[in-house]
Structure 1
């Protein structure tokens, strides 16, 4: 439906206003969004998976996404590449 998603937060990369994160050499990342990955590093390297889930749920709440959908989306975060 939305194509590839960020392997840190789960956001569809097609929804990233910057088109995705960047590697250390400035090349676009095919795995991570610009909110999570810039210059070859995670924006918040100390963040835990449960903190990411809380952040994503908060953002979805701000976007008025129904709670059951937000929780379902957040439940998939531990399965993403960054958290395995």
Structure 2
């Protein structure tokens, strides 16, 4: 089963660090290294919609069209961080 970051939705196998880090330095396999470091989220987002817009921007930077951006961000609101 493919695992996804429970904050941004990125496939964990695409994370170069293969997960964020907890306060004690151990790997966190729920959140990617782009979202989570030393036991804290790297962003100050309080709503899933903020993450959706951020991720859409990153995908656009990579040349991805609006349809794919919407497809890849459609599940963010259902992730554990945003429940």
- TM-score in same-fold range (> 0.5): yes
Q: Give the 3-state SS of the residue equivalent to 2:13 in structure 1.
A: helix
Deviations, residues 21-80 of structure 1 (Å, cap 9, x unaligned): 001111111100001000111112x30211100010001111112221111111210000
Gaps of 5+ in 2: none
TM superposition outliers: structure 1 runs of 4+ over 2 Å: none
Structure 2 counterpart of 1:37: 36
Q: What is the TM-score of this pair, normalised by structure 2?
A: 0.91
Q: How many residues align?
A: 82
Distance 1:39 1:56 in 2: 22
User: What's the C-alpha RMSD, in Å, of the aligned pairs?
Assistant: 1.2
Gaps of 5+ in 1: none
